[in-house]
Amino acid sequence: MALDEGGEAFVHKDSVADYFERYTTRIQAPVPCGVEVRRVSRLEGRTGFRFETTHGVYEAQSVVSVTGPFQVPVIPPVIPKQTAVQQIHSADYRSPDALPQGAVLVVGAGSSGVQIADELNIAGRKVYLSVGPHDRPPRRYRGRDFVWWLGVLGKWDMAAPAPGTDHVTIAVSGARGGETADFRRLAHDGLTLVGRTESCEDGVLRFAPDLIPNIARGDANLLSLLDEADAYVTANGLDLPEEPEARVFPNDPDCMTNPLTELNLSQAGVGTVIWATGYALDYNWLDVDVLDDTGKPRHQRGVSSVRGLYYVGLPWLSRRGSSFIWGVWHDVTHVADQIAIQSAYETYDAQAGGLGAAEE
Ligand SMILES: Cc1cc2nc3c(=O)[nH]c(=O)nc-3n(C[C@H](O)[C@H](O)[C@H](O)COP(=O)(O)OP(=O)(O)OC[C@H]3O[C@@H](n4cnc5c(N)ncnc54)[C@H](O)[C@@H]3O)c2cc1C
């Protein structure tokens, strides 16, 4: 099923919602909205689960958890609550006008942080952007979007992140038709880059001395993708226009050559800190012993160790694409197969012909 916009358009959120509505009509599945699952537990002495919801109690033979990787916005406990500054998560950011007057510190330079900081800077705010480790793919290269490049280079299907890169965020922008995140350009436009926000004492923030290595790492990531793309073009004889300017970076701005190590929030007039620091999982509703010590589900390709309980949509469930709208279908197909296989075992009847006999 295709989206209305098609091509390489950046699809509006309302169109995505319409798309899902059309999909539910097509598969004719009941999709009750506004129903929260409060507790899922195993049935005693027989297979299946009992689940308590805001609309009643039900039983099911299988449960597929698709509650997503973005359940609880995470704000690290760095700035004490009593500090005279408003702290919000990027999930609650709406527009520059909705924030109190004053400068803004945006913590986190993934796609959310970098685009929010850019928007605030354009709106005339004084903005500090706290930059941690990140990947920085080119939005487009040689006429193709990076989503296409990740596809042909096999990166959506990577089975596991490179060692030590489990939680590295991607900084890329969909603004103005799509742009490569360019920290130096943002700084030349007036924004101040700082290292990772480490601590806060008496209203004074301290930044890690890692701004330069973090920017360098993002640059290296961008250049390596360009190298791989060029090699792919050559190896496959593609006729895509060369783009040497993609390798040219602006000069290092002053905030990179003389990075701030600390910031007195009130002296700098900072009225808001926006934490673009990601999300955590929340399985409080799952009363089944299937989580590891860190609260993450134990599973093999979406199949948990408890019969009948499955997951879809988790980061790196089977590949990089697993937690993206684009890419989840591999896991959906696998989990649906596993459910069918298990129900065939359940209806097993040796006399009548073995596995699958009940369906004939
Ligand atoms: C800022 C941001 C930008 C993104 N950009 C892109 C992008 O450009 N392209 C892309 O492909 N992906 C993007 N993603 C990822 C995309 O949003 C996810 O891949 C997609 O939403 C995952 O779908 P899901 O159904 O697995 O989970 P979700 O969309 O998170 O849906 C989970 C649902 O479960 C519900 N739920 C949770 N607990 C319960 C409960 N106990 N009872 C009942 N319901 C419950 C939640 O309310 C929610 O509706 C982005 C994500 C973020 C945060």
At residue 90 the predicted structure's pLDDT band, cuts being 50, 70 and 90, is very high
Counting every residue, how long is the chain?
Answer: 360
Counting ligand 1 atoms within 8 A of each CB, the residue from 21, 37, 67, 335 with the most, and so the one to mutate, is: 67
pLDDT of residue 356 exceeding 70, the answer is: no
Atom of ligand 1 nearest to the CA of 279: 53
Mean local confidence (pLDDT), 145-166: 84
Residue 101 phi, psi (nearest 5): -55, 160
Question: Which of 152, 136, 147, 148 minimizes the C-alpha distance to 246?
Answer: 136
Atom of ligand 1 nearest to the CA of 313: 26
Exposure of 267 by Cβ count < 10 A (0-12 exposed, 13-18 middle, 19+ buried)? exposed
At residue 1 the predicted structure's pLDDT band, cuts being 50, 70 and 90, is confident
User: Which has the minimum average pLDDT: 112-116, 324-328, 337-341, 351-355?
Assistant: 351-355
**Which residues are 262's β-sheet partners?**
206
| CA-proximal residue: ligand 1, atom 18 (nearest) | 324
At residue 168 the predicted structure's pLDDT band, cuts being 50, 70 and 90, is confident
Residue 326, ligand 1, Cβ within 6 A:
yes
Token pair recorded at residue 59? 């039983």
**Which residues are 360's β-sheet partners?**
none
At residue 351 the predicted structure's pLDDT band, cuts being 50, 70 and 90, is confident
At residue 167 the predicted structure's pLDDT band, cuts being 50, 70 and 90, is low
- 100-119 residue pLDDT tens: 999 999 999 999 999 999 99
**Which residues are 180's β-sheet partners?**
172
pLDDT of residue 5 exceeding 80, the answer is: no
pLDDT of residue 4: 77
- 31-86 residue pLDDT tens: 999 999 999 999 999 999 999 999 999 999 999 999 988 999 999 999 999 999 99
DSSP string, 97-166: GGSPSSEEEEE--SHHHHHHHHHHHHTT--EEEE--SEE---SEETTEEHHHHHHHTT-TT-SSPPTT-T
**Which residues are 244's β-sheet partners?**
none
- 266-303 residue pLDDT tens: 999 999 999 999 999 999 999 999 999 888 899 999 99
The dihedral through the CA atoms of 40, 41, 46, 47 has a sign that is positive
ipTM confidence: 0.91
Q: Is 125 within 8 Å of 190 (Cβ atoms)? A: no
Rounded distance from Cα 288 to ligand 1 centre (Å): 23
Q: For a pLDDT cut of 70, what percent of the chain falls above it?
A: 96
Rounded distance from Cα 2 to ligand 1 centre (Å): 19
| Per-state percent for the chain, helix, strand, coil, to nearest 5 | 30, 20, 50
**Which residues are 145's β-sheet partners?**
140
pLDDT averaged over every residue in the chain: 93
Residue 360, ligand 1, Cβ within 6 A:
no
pLDDT of residue 173: 92
Nearest 10 degrees: Cα torsion 291, 292, 296, 300: -80
Q: Is 146 within 8 Å of 225 (Cβ atoms)? A: yes
* Per-residue CA distances from 281 to 33, 124, 278 (Å): 21, 35, 10
Rounded distance from Cα 66 to ligand 1 centre (Å): 9
pLDDT of residue 125 exceeding 80, the answer is: yes
| CA-proximal residue: ligand 1, atom 15 (nearest) | 324
Rounded distance from Cα 68 to ligand 1 centre (Å): 5
Residue 10, ligand 1, Cβ within 6 A:
no
pLDDT of residue 9 exceeding 90, the answer is: no
Q: Which residues contact 162 (CB under 8 A, 6 or more apart)?
A: none
pLDDT of residue 360: 45
pLDDT of residue 144: 96
Residue 112, ligand 1, Cβ within 6 A:
yes
Q: What secondary structure, in 3-state letters, does 172-212 show?
A: EECHHHCEECCHHHHHHCCCEEECCEEEEECCEEEECCCHH
pLDDT of residue 166 exceeding 70, the answer is: no
The region, left, alpha or beta by phi > 0 then psi within -120 to 50, assigned to residue 56 is left
| CA-proximal residue: ligand 1, atom 22 (nearest) | 68
**Which residues are 120's β-sheet partners?**
none
- 173-201 residue pLDDT tens: 989 989 999 999 999 999 999 999 999 99
Residue 70, ligand 1, Cβ within 6 A:
yes
Instruction: For Cα atoms 209, 203, 257, give the angle at the middle one, nearest 5 degrees.
Output: 25
pLDDT of residue 357: 52
pLDDT of residue 219 exceeding 70, the answer is: yes
Residue 285, ligand 1, Cβ within 6 A:
yes
